[in-house]
Amino acid sequence: MNRKEMYEDVSSLLLLVPFFAPAIYALYLWAVGGFSYYLPEQVFLGVTRNPDLFLLGTLAIILSTVMEVSSEERARRSERVLLLSKRLQKLAAASLVLAIITAWYANGFSPDLSRTGADLFTGRYTIVFPALLVLFSFLIVTPINLRSLAQAKTVAIILLLAVPVVINEVGKRNTLLGLGGSLILTILAAVMLSWQSDKPSGLSPAR
């Protein structure tokens, strides 16, 4: 197995983390409280409000994306990034749909969807995680000059990695402040990449 194949395999496994980790933790909480016909509401909220699961899932997605891009040949990275952007959007949609179905199940598939909607917003990461994936999907297709952005890419990645940390640490004290801080970090990363892409690379084409 060559390096590229290994990166792709690890990347694919990392994409499963945001789905399997909450599922395993939910089964654990469910087993502790005693299994029932419907998923207990407190189990749903215990999973969707857990900052550690959110942090783990977000870092797994970012690491998976970085690994896939770095394993691709430079000439084909732009094409790969576009595919990854679409995949992130599909993952965001799948995550949101799964959260809605699970919240509905936790409310006994009640025709009164008000409690289901309330649980979705109470378990704030059910909304934040898909939104962050969509934002990240647009961010990675920002036009950049790969030959001259080694340092800028590093800083941008650090800013992105700081996003879930801010949501985790600040959001525990103030949800709006945590979301606002994470949004600022994401915008800074996008602006940095966009600004750097307009700078000359310092390399003159051969005549």
Question: pLDDT band at 176, cuts 50/70/90?
Answer: low
% of the chain at pLDDT higher than 90: 30
Residue 53 belongs to what H/E stretch? helix 51-71
56 within 8 A of 167, measured Cβ to Cβ: no
Please state, in angstroms and rounded to a whole number, the distance separating the CA atoms of residues 183 and 35.
39
Most confident option among 21-35, 74-88, 184-198: 21-35
- The domain spans of the chain are 3-134, 142-199
Stated pTM of the model: 0.68
Question: pLDDT band at 16, cuts 50/70/90?
Answer: very high
Other CB atoms within 10 A of residue 48 CB? 25
If we measure between CA atoms, which residue out of 121, 66, 57 comes closest to residue 91?
A: 57
Q: At residue 194, what are phi and psi to the nearest 5 degrees? A: -65, -40
Burial of residue 98 (number of CB atoms within 10 Å: 0-12, 13-18, 19+): middle
Per-residue pLDDT of 78-102, as tens digits, reads: 888 888 889 999 999 999 999 999 9
Residue 19 belongs to what H/E stretch? helix 3-33
The DSSP letter of residue 145 is -
